[in-house]
Chains A and B, each alone.
Chain A
């Protein structure tokens, strides 16, 4: 009978440990580098990396909340009275393709990529005063399938891995003055790895502050 109680106790402790790990309750002290972290915490950390890329000028300049795109690292309003227009592709006399070809035009300093266009307003990552939305708000928008063209986590990962206008951010070409445009703070490989971690963790979003 005594032996049976010890076996039961061990079994109980084992189950408790498994449940605790699954709930992300494993304790970590600060500065425990290399310690395995629970998936949700990993996911949130990975999302922070993803967010740092999404709000970089190469990405967020075309995710405006207004009727115009932005340009430059200072994210100023696009010159030449460019208008969002139907489908984010400009207006008949001045569509995006009026200047932006399917690849960068380094000799004239005009960036380009296949099907150059603005992200839909449902994918705005800024407010109407051109300030980037919070990490929590962008995360909610990106994961809302009613706003993101019905992309689940797997589709979001594929989008970040393969979409041509996403890839353009790491090959943005030269400015009109001949200097290179800046690129996002992570490499594309790091961005994809962070997205994968975030997706595998269930696309967790930070809590709004």
Chain B
């Protein structure tokens, strides 16, 4: 598996601990798919329009599509809305459906039924990944990208179709769940991508998630994205020189500038060392091709940064520019 081969798949799942940049990676993958001439749908699970905010577009209502860039479409997926849509497909009598939706039993059941929300969410994503246009019978989307909620939760989502298949041994739910599991576990159609930062807790979660994906869920893996990597090393001697000069000088401004410049260099060198250490741990524990993405220094992280990371991820390791922080 290499980066280009990702885009031969129909479904790219993006999982990782909260706050590591899953949404950013999902959006950058969408841009890369579009650049390859594909129609890409990014499905944001249970979110508050994070993808729309990142692209700086007005979010569409849940279950509806907005085109953020040419070829890059966004959709917020939510279990309850997906269930309503699904029921609409299998029970075409509208008036009857309205009565069901209004009933208290339905309301309560949907709010708290075990695993229903997760099952319907993944079901909806499966539906979008397989959907074909009625007239042309062409696929509606070349590629669907699932931006999953934080770790513990995202594995629950991916686990539900198999759980439903086991729990219901016959009937429609069993058959549909079986088809969803079929897609999720098919290496020719699906790839699960991990996003991590090279720090203690995200690495630990990533290692445990990787094991579960491999051993328990048997899902085909894609790439491991290591995000927010610091890679500007500074010579300790430089930092020492700055500080010793700061100690000697009588000029107050000079003293402050040198101290601050040294402090920031030390901060950056510290994160660089730390990232290097955890990158090694990730590489040892996760048998997946790695794409590293730099920490971007910016006043505000927005669509320009997403575009920049999309470029960098396509260049992979060969892009040396950002090593020096020119990115």
Do chains A and B interact in one complex? no
Residues of A within 8 A of B (CB): none
